[in-house]
Structure 1
Amino acid sequence: MPEPLAARGGQASTVVEPEADATWSPPSWEDVVREHSARVYRLAYRLTGNRHDAEDLTQEVFVRVFRSLGSYTPGTFEGWLHRITTNLFLDQVRRRQRIRFDSLPVDADNRLPGTDEGPERAWEHNNLDHDVQAALATLPPDFRAAVVLCDIEGLSYEEIAATLDVKLGTVRSRIHRGRAQLREALAHRRDPSRRAPVPVPDDGASAPASVGRKGSRR
C-alpha cells in the first residue's frame, strides 16, 4: 500500500445540523457556498485530477445544491455534499455531458463559487503529491471515488456505501482493487527501476500525503 493519503482539513462548519436543533431550517445557499465551497472543491479536485474539471464540477455541485436546498431532507449536511459531488462526477464520466444551467436566476453566475485561486486552493495546488494524484487518475472512476472517499476524505465503509448507494461488499471490493492498482502505479517509489508509465496531470495537481480515517476498516 502506498503511503497514506490526506486527511480532511478546514474548519468545522457552523451550519447547525437538525439532530442538534429540532427547529433547524436549511441554511441559505450563500451560507452553504461560503462555508463549504473549499471542501467541495478539494473533493472535486481529487476526483477529477485537474483544476479545470474540478472548478466545473464544483460549480455544478452548487447548482444542484441551489435547486435542491429547499427540499433537503434533514441529515448530515457534509454527507449530502459528498453524495452530490461524487455522484455528479460519476454521472459526468458515464454520460460525458454537463448539467444544464437553465431555470437559474440571472445573477446565478455571480453567486456561484469563483474560479480565482484563493489561499486555500493555492495551498492545495502547491502541497499535493504529483505521483499520487497521477496514480489516482489511472484508476477506474468507481474505484477512484471509493479510494478518495475512504483514504482522503476519511469516510467509513458504511458511509461510502450510503454515498454511492451500493452494497458494503461492493465498497470493500472497489477499495481493495483500487488500492492494489494504486500500489502498482506507485511501485517506482519503492523500486525506481520499476517506474510506472503514469501520466502527469495537466496542472501538476495531486493529493497530500497523510490520512485521517474514521469508522471500520477491514
Structure 2
Amino acid sequence: MNRETAPDWPQIVESHSRRVFAVAMRILGSAHDAEDVSQEVFLEAYRLHATTDVRSWTGLLVRLATLRSLDWVRRGRPTAELLEQDCAFPLDPAGELIQRELADALRAAVGRLPERQATVFVMTHFEEMTREEIAESLNVSLEAVSTSLYKARQQLSKELNVQRREG
C-alpha cells in the first residue's frame, strides 16, 4: 500500500488486533500489559504509514508488537510468567517456583539480546513464524535470519547455563 492510499484503519485493527495481542501476550504473559503494548503498536503503525510504504500489515504489526513487548521487558515493567500458559499439567508449589524462576531468567536474557536477535528469537519460538516469514517481515535475507537466530540461541544458552551454575 502506498502512502497516498489511506488505509482502512478499522479494518486493519479488526484484522490484526488478535495477532498483535497474542504476540504481546506470549512475550509479556499479562493481558493488561499486552493490551497496553497493543495500543502502542497500532498508534505507532498509524504514524509510520504516513512516512513508510507498508507492504505487509501483518509483518509490520508483528514486528512492532515484538519490539514494543521487548522494550516493555527491558524497561523492567512487571509481567506474568512466559511459560505459565504453556504448562499442560498442574505443578506443585516447588514446580511453580522453578517455572517462575525459569520464565524470569528467560525473559531477562531475551531482553538483553541485541534487537534483531531478540526479534528473530521471539518470532521463531513464540510466534512460530518460518524463517521466510521473518525475513520478509524484517526485510532481511534468510541468511541474516539464520545467523541472528543462531547467535540468539548461543547467547541465551550461555547466559542460562551460567545462571543455573550460580543458582
Work out whether the TM-score is over 0.5. yes
Q: TM-score range by the shorter chain?
A: 0.5 to 0.7
Q: 2:85 aligns with which of 110, 115, 128?
A: 128
Output aligned runs, 1:140-159, within 5 Å: 140=109, 141=111, 142=113, 145-157=119-131, 159=133
Count of paired positions: 132
The gaps in structure 2 that reach 5 residues or longer are 78-83, 88-95, 162-166
The gaps in structure 1 that reach 5 residues or longer are 1-17, 99-126, 185-196, 198-218
Kept after mapping to 2: 8 A contact 1:157/1:172: no
Note the aligned Cα RMSD (angstroms).
3.9
- Aligned to 2:151, the other structure's residue is in SS state helix
Kept after mapping to 2: 8 A contact 1:45/1:54: yes
TM-score after normalising by structure 2:
0.58
Kindly, what percent of the aligned residue pairs are identical?
30
CA displacement 1:35-66 (0-9 Å, x = unmatched): 10000000000111222211111111111122
Kept after mapping to 2: 8 A contact 1:87/1:164: no
Q: 1:172 aligns with which of 145, 150, 159?
A: 150
Task: Kindly provide the amino acid, as one letter, of the partner of residue 138 in structure 2.
Answer: T
Deviation at 1:176, TM superposition (A): 4.7
- Aligned to 1:45, the other structure's residue is in SS state helix
Q: 1:149 to 1:177 in 2, by over 3 A?
A: same
Kept after mapping to 2: 8 A contact 1:83/1:164: no
CA displacement 1:114-138 (0-9 Å, x = unmatched): xxxxxxxxxxxxx93247x854443
- Aligned to 1:71, the other structure's residue is in SS state coil
TM-score after normalising by structure 1:
0.47
Q: 2:33 aligns with which of 34, 42, 53?
A: 53
